[in-house]
Structure 1
Amino acid sequence: MKVTVIGCGNLGSAVVEGLVNKGYDVVACDKDEEALDALSDGVMKEKDAGKAVEGSELVVVAVKPEVVGPVLGSFDADDGQVVASFAAAVSLGYVRERTDGRAVRVMPNLAGEYNEMTAAVCADDGVPDEVARVLDDLGSYVEVDEELMDIATAVNGSGPAFVFYAMKAMRDAGVEGGLDEEDAGTLVAQTFRGAAAIVQNDERSLDELIDAVCSPGGTTVEGMEVLRESDAGRPFADAVGAAERRSVEITEELDL
């Protein structure tokens, strides 16, 4: 399947590289020649959006919210093509009104480069096969009602930054305790990766998994008592809430 990705910043380039990893024919489109040059050699590169979308079954618009409108106006898609906005806060209706293609709204994240992305997606008549295939190959996805896209944006779109923040805190604690910074970073990164694998493959709830690690009288239960007494989860919930509110504000401010 041929896919065009318009916008090759951090997100767009991650999507491009993830699709290349899976053997897709990818056309990367950006006015910035340096952004195009930074991509893998096997990627087709085009500055003109009109030319870039020719023959593509799926067009991914991975640009900042404020330029989605001009980008959609820079090419003509027909009803046989799917046009998926990967931009935060841009409503499905906004995309639908500006293209003849089948409109889809997606909230991805940067892990697409490593085919470990998770995405939230909404569409008028269910997720098109082209989008389902691409999102499966980039990682995984969930289909949600559009009214839930703002909270989804906060959880999975902004979420990596919140996870990186927690990882940094644990790494720094390891360094303060005497570990080499690189060693501490390796231990933390693999710990998060392993914990995620357990959550995805184990039928127990998160609370049950916490209890499974907390052997009576052991080290983990001592640490968990500190976390529970401090209500350390509250700032993360507040961060998600702030990101959700900002998503709503962007939609309103830019009339998206």
Structure 2
Amino acid sequence: MIRVSVIGCGNMGGALLRGLARAEGYHLTAIDLDPEALAAIEGVVDETTEDVAAARDADIAVLAVKPDVAPAVLDDLDLRADQQLVTLAAGLPREFVAERTDASVVRIMPNLAAETGDMAAAATNAGLTDEVRAMLDDVGEFVEVDESLMHVSTAVNGSGPAFAFYLIDAMKQGGIESGLDPEQAETLAAQTFKGAAETVLRDDRSVDELIDAVCSPNGTTIEGMDVLWDSDADAAVEEAVAAAERRSRELAEAFDDA
């Protein structure tokens, strides 16, 4: 049984706890000063507490607080050298955290799909242990990257779910406009994205090859794709990723002289 303490049980911390609870094999402690956050996760975890000192009993402690709150939490966090500390905060450099704890530190950028076991995450090569790898495997898929790539990873997989939700809603609205009821349109659009994503991950063909496979000559798909190819949709998504990456870099600048 791996003991995991999550400090900060908001959206991301809560999603990770729920995902690990589904995976089983973990003793889970939720740590937060907000009683409502603890109440929301109480039925999922083994323990809830407002005391950050409880993290000292964990094999893996997860710092899932906002970047601006992290320094104060780290001041109160007393971990052992044989523990692992996983930081999720956007823009928070690994070195900043490592200088303030005896624990082994790894920086990751997960996303909310950890709750359903479908998370996409990036993890820094530095500080990544087999125990943390196993934990990440239990809630989705991850890639190991140099920390210099964490800003773009934050944009692609950290912010990416919101971009995907936006596109799902656009397809949903297209269905509603032509007669589907909202629930039908949402199911079809969301399941289509889910299936397409699984195909990209499991099929050896490139994305361009998969598009070709769906586009029969003179068929319906090629008509729709012609609209997308003639639009700036791809450029808009690329700009969204670039904007999120820039914001991650701006957040990191706050720790340069800290």
Q: Give the TM-score normalised by the residue count of structure 2.
A: 0.96
Instruction: Map 1:200-215 to 2 at 5 A.
Output: 200-215=201-216
Do 1:103 and 1:123's aligned partners in 2 also have CA atoms closer than 8 Å? no
For structure 2, the 5+ residue unaligned runs are none
Aligned equivalent of 1:15: 16
- AA aligned opposite 2:48: K
Residue 104 (structure 1) aligned to one of 84, 101, 106: 106
Do 1:82 and 1:102's aligned partners in 2 also have CA atoms closer than 8 Å? yes
Give the root-mean-square deviation of aligned CA atoms. Answer: 1.1
Q: Does 1:33 align with 2:51?
A: no
Q: Does 1:178 align with 2:182?
A: no
Instruction: Tell me by how many angstroms 1:231 deviates.
Output: 2.9
CA distance in 2, matches of 1:195, 1:91: 34
CA distance in 2, matches of 1:41, 1:124: 34
Task: Map Cα deviations across residues 86-123 of structure 1 (whole Å, 9 max, x no partner).
Answer: 11000010110111000110000000111110110014
Instruction: Tell me by how many angstroms 1:7 deviates.
Output: 0.2
Instruction: Tell me by how many angstroms 1:154 deviates.
Output: 0.2
Aligned equivalent of 2:62: 60
Aligned equivalent of 2:49: 46
Aligned equivalent of 2:90: 88
Paired-residue identity, %: 51
CA distance in 1, matches of 2:85, 2:176: 47
| Count of residues in correspondence between the two structures | 254
- Taking a change above 3 Å as real, the CA distance of residues 123 and 203 of structure 1, as seen in their structure-2 partners, is closer
Structure 1 runs of 4+ aligned residues shifted over 2 Å read: 253-256
CA distance in 2, matches of 1:70, 1:19: 26
Task: Map Cα deviations across residues 105-153 of structure 1 (whole Å, 9 max, x no partner).
Answer: 000000011111011001425x211210110001011000011000000
Task: Map Cα deviations across residues 1-40 of structure 1 (whole Å, 9 max, x no partner).
Answer: 0000000111110011111111211000000111101114
Q: What's the secondary structure of 2:86's corresponding residue?
A: strand
CA distance in 1, matches of 2:153, 2:93: 13
Q: What's the secondary structure of 1:12's corresponding residue?
A: helix
Do 2:215 and 2:222's aligned partners in 1 also have CA atoms closer than 8 Å? yes
Q: Give the TM-score normalised by the residue count of structure 1.
A: 0.97
